[in-house]
Structures are given as C-alpha cells and as structure tokens.
Amino acid sequence: MAKVMAVNAGSSSLKFQLFEMPEETVITSGVVERIGQEMGSFTIKYNGEKKVMEQPVPNHKVAVDLLLEALVSLHIVNQLSEISAVGHRIVQGGPYFNDSAIVDDDVVAKVEELAELAPLHNPAHLVGYRAFKEALPNAGEVFTFDTAFHQSMDEERYLYPLPYEYYTDLKVRKYGAHGTSHKYVSEQLIQLLGNPKHSRVIVCHLGNGASLSAVQDGKCVDTSMGFTPLAGVMMGGRCGSVDPSIMPYLCKKLNKTPDEILDIYNHESGMKGVSGISSDSRDIENALFNKDGKSTPEQIDRALKTSLLYARIVSKYIGAYYTELGGCDAIAFTAGVGENAAYLRRLIIDNCSRALSVFLDEEENNRRVDGNHLISNEFSKIEVYVIPTNEEVMIARDTVRLLNIR
C-alpha cells in the first residue's frame, strides 16, 4: 500500500485527493478556490469531517503550502514523507505526449514550451509541481496530460484548413482538453453498456470549461476544444468558437489590442457575457426560475437566452458526433454543469430528440443521486447517463502504473 496525491490545478483552483493505492481508498480530498482573488477558500474533507477556511491565497504556491500544512496539523499523515508520489494534471501536452509521463527536466521543459497554448493553466500546473517537489523531494512525480487521450484523432480531424507549414513549423492543430475526464467517463460508459467489442459514445464534459468528445471502441475520434481550451462550445466565461473576423473588428471598434479582446473571450464571454448575471450556471438557473423572488424581467429574459443558446450549441456537437460515429450507443453528461443542471440536460436532449430518437425520463433526470445514473426513458434509442467524473483517480492510477508502485 502507498499514499499517492493526485493534484488537479486549475487557473484559480487546486483540487486534490490523497489515495491509498492500489485500493483507491480516498484518505482526504478537498479544494483551494479563488486563488489570486481578494479572499480564497480552502476546503478539506477527512474522517467524515469537513473543514472550510477563508483566507487570502495569492498564488498556487501558497495553496500547496496550505494543503501540506493541513495534512500534518490535522494528523491525516504523521509526516509528509509518507506520501510516495504525486500525480499532476497538465492541460496541454501538445504533440509530445500520448500518455502520462514520469517527470524529468525534459518533460518540464516541454510543458513550459507549451504554456502559450494554455496560458491560464500550464504555468499554474508548474508552480504546483515545483511547490510539491520542494516539500516532498523524495516523492515520485508524474504528469497526466489532458491532451493525451485525444492524440488518437486522425490527421483530418486535428488539422486546421490553414497553410500546412503552420502545422509542421508552428504546431498549430487541434489538441483538445479535458482528456483525463473524457477517458474516465467513456470507460465508465462502456462498462455500463456491458463492455461490448464495439461501442460509439459521446461524452459531454460540461463545467465552467466545457468540451465534448466522440469515442469509438474506447478511442477518441474527435473533440470540441481545439488549439487552446477556448475553442468549441460556449462555456462559463469563454465564448467557444466564434467567427475569427470578430477579433480585428472589435479591436478597431473598441480600440483594444488582440490580447485585450482575447481576455474578454476567455473571461467575460460565454454564459457570463450573454446573461450579464454570472459565469455560474447555478446563478443563471436561479435567475431563470426566479428562485429568490428577486429576478427582474430583463434578468429572466437574459437567463433564458443564455440557457437556450448554450443548449443549442452543445446539441449541435452531439448531432455532429452522431454523424462522425455513424450512430451512438450512449451519451454521458459529466462535470459541474453536466452533473447538476437538470434543466440544461433536458434542453440539450430535447434539441436532439426528433433527429436521434433520444428521450429523457423526466423524473430520473430531476432526481439527484450519487454515482452513475441512467436518465433516458424506455423509448430512447440512445441511453443517456449522468456519470460523475473522477480525474483524480485516473491521475493516481497512472502515477502508480508508471512509477511501478506496489
């Protein structure tokens, strides 16, 4: 048995789970949120208890220090040296990695090189890695890449119709993201189908960041995110794919630089931009259904526009992937929005129902349960599931496998 830490660092958060491996028993889990904002939040769960601490967390180094201090002070471990290994989620592995990798100087250099493709994430990942490496110098370190699962895509699916030398010389191509989640959920989905020799499934990873993937026989065929995690479907604060000509138009009209418009694309668009309410689907749902009795008619209208637009864009990708796969056996919803926003799942599937003969069981869709959950009805030709993602357990598994931990 060995203690393995799985770290999932986002642009402003750090999720973690400490596992007893290979049993995959969770010893502790939690998250540091709102990193870099005025006030941060640190949540840690252990022994059936949950502690929440509010304090400034200026950067990911401080977040790691908070976590490691809590492990010892709360007697979750007697000393940090009990942790045998740390696995880190890395958003962008470019064309270099089709699997997780043991960390060495060359691997770190490649992640640094690729930071411009994931500027909100790769630098944060490396800060977290170095903080853990400093605190746990004898622990093994593994990087698990969000792009690795998508390396099975054919060239015709990852190339852009740009001058070919942009791909050969500058590495401009579709890479995708959320691959660790897509791999986990698609494996779960195929198991629920009875592990058939051939399978065609669509995974909808819908969180603050969102992407879909078409998976055939366990291999990714296509995915919605592209050169960076900005592409694809509408997201919490990201616009997804829009007409490229909008960029120079806005630069001229608003007297802004391309970097300033790109920042708007990444942080002020998507659900937040259309609704004017929030990038969080829960806030939009509250406004749409006036749950607190404070929504104005304009807020309700904007929340409705946002929900309908979001559902329409996601359903278009489901239809496209149905065509690419030549059919579909099952669809899975996962991540924060996919697992919890029943009204959006209904809107999305309603958009697909006439063409694909897929239908939800309204009662099952609205019922909140832990674990994998079938939400389609008996008349649906495609099974639809809610499957909670678990990127951390995938990271831990790869860490154990590559480091040959017993």
Q: Which of 346, 347, 329, 339 is closest to 373 using CA atoms?
A: 339
Q: Take residue 239 and report the two structure tokens written for it.
A: 């616009």
Among the listed ranges 51-60, 256-265, 334-343, which one has the minimum average pLDDT value?
Answer: 51-60
Average pLDDT over residues 300-306: 97
Whether 222 is catalytic is no
Residue 113: phi and psi, rounded to 5, are -60, -35
Q: Take residue 122 and report the two structure tokens written for it.
A: 């790769």
Number of H helices, E strands in the chain: 15, 14
pLDDT bin (cut points 50, 70, 90) of residue 268 is very high
**214 pLDDT above the threshold of 90:** yes
- Determine the distance from the C-alpha atom of residue 390 to the mean position of all C-alpha atoms in its chain, rounded to a whole number: 10
Instruction: Identify which has the larger pLDDT, 116 or 68.
Output: 68
Residue 130: phi and psi, rounded to 5, are -65, -35
- 22 preceded by a cis bond (ω within 30 of 0): yes
**269 pLDDT above the threshold of 80:** yes
Please tell me the pTM assigned to this model: 0.90
What local confidence, expressed as pLDDT, does residue 9 receive? Answer: 81
Question: Which residue among the candidates 146, 222, 329, 398 is catalytic per the annotation?
Answer: 146
pLDDT tens track for 217-252: 999 999 999 998 899 999 999 999 999 999 999 999
